[in-house]
Amino acid sequence: MNILYLCHRFPFPPKRGGKIRPFNMIRHLAQRHEVTVASLLRSDEEAREGEGLAKHCAEILAARVDDRVQTLRMVARLPTTRPSSFGFFHSPALARQIRAALARKRYDLIFVHCSSMAPYVEHVRGIPKILDFGDMDSQKWLEYARYKPFPLSAGYWLEGQKLWREEKRLARRFDFCTATTRAEWETLNGYRVDVPTDWFPNGVDHEFFSPGDEPYDAGRICFVGRMDYYPNQQCMFEFCAQVFPRLRALRPRLRLYIVGADPSPAVRELGRQPGVIVTGSVPDVRPYVRNSALMVAPLRIARGTQNKILEAMAMGVPVVTSRVAAGGVDAQDEQHFLVADEPEDYVRKILRILDDPAERARLARAGRERVLSHHAWSKSMQRLDRIIERCLARHAEHALNLEKEPVQ
């Protein structure tokens, strides 16, 4: 088949959440099909790094955008009913490339990752189309509204409402819609649009993220994530204020490594707190995770799959996570990781791992085994293949029914 694949983040190299899922889909689909990738580039560095995508697809349609211009596109949509965030991913140049590609080549399937890219092809007819929402972005914006001060909270709420309406409208323009987790799929199903839906999980490269040979440091815990991302910032502010001081009172030599690119000044300020180390960008997060007794993922705002949890589990490092973040991973509390809700829960469960090497070893082993059995990319891509088959069959059946309709 000839497949046109649209994604909002240029999917190479797959070093962050918005790139990992689309890259693995593209790599899988290209094994048997001819894939044209359409996406956006935001810097010279991204363009240089992205050159490696060429060996994983037949053609690349890429438009360079300036974030300052894209921000203005967002602002221009504020007084309208359309989501402002969609303006950040709109490029007239990319739209022209997509139209030209559709005019010169016959595609058998259009696959869109992320709802913000759906407007590029929402009006295309006669070609089967799948919209992979990944996460339901409207719910994330509505969640932001709970944590932001007024008037920002009102702005986030309004954008969440716009996205909610737009997600429902766009779903009806496609033949099939998907999500990343069962919870996101249930949200999608709640829209009650007359379109088939399903979900397929994110996987993890379990060979790259594998256990290390060096012993771990029993006095060290870590958090991993981009530190210019508000949910990561918010959870670390709260953890360092409410949980880590209690742990340090009981374990004065305990250290917390906050590992992630582009920490804000407020995040860097956390490094002044006794025992807290803010690393900033690092060439490889694996040594930081493997050397830790455990990883914490205390996110209050979390939609979809937290790749950081999968990666730590794949490396045989126990995870203590919030309930909302745990919901994006196909694993069980107490069996494969530990779930906490309140500060005292985090303290108790973190100490349980720190004080009991046998318990740490059990969670380390069970966590990796669960990743191998439930979050392998190969199994996720088998689900994707079945979804594509269902979409093509439905589209063909619909076309046949139209042919059979009597002419008025």
Concatenated DSSP letters for 45-69? HHHHHGGGGGGGSSEEEEEE--HHH
CA angle (85 as vertex; 83, 89 as ends), nearest 5: 115
pLDDT tens by residue, 198-211: 999 999 999 999 99
d(CA 160, CA 83) in angstroms, rounded, equals: 8
What is the overall mean pLDDT for the chain?
A: 93
Percent of the chain at pLDDT > 90 equals 83
Amino acid identity for residue 76 in this structure: A
- What is the value of pTM for the model shown? 0.86
| Mean pLDDT of all residues in 27-37 | 97
* Mean pLDDT within 73-92: 93
For the chain, domains (ranges, CATH) are 2-203+377-404 (3.40.50.2000), 217-374 (3.40.50.2000)
Contacts 24+ apart (CB under 8 A), 43-50: 46/10, 49/12, 49/13, 50/10, 50/12, 50/13
Question: Residue 73: what residue type?
Answer: R
Closest CA to 397 of 176, 182, 189, 230: 176
Residue 33 DSSP symbol: S
For residue range 100-149, what is the model confidence (pLDDT) as tens digits? 999 999 999 999 999 999 999 999 999 999 999 988 999 988 988 888 88
Q: 41 falls in which pLDDT band (50, 70, 90)?
A: very high
pLDDT over 80 (residue 79): yes
pLDDT tens-digit readout, 315-326: 999 999 999 999
Q: What is the pLDDT of residues 218-257, one digit of tens each?
A: 999 999 999 999 999 999 999 999 999 999 999 999 999 9
- Kindly report, residue by residue over 152-166, the tens digit of the pLDDT: 899 989 999 999 999
How high is the pLDDT of residue 402?
Answer: 65
pLDDT band at 406 (very low <50, low <70, confident <90, very high): low
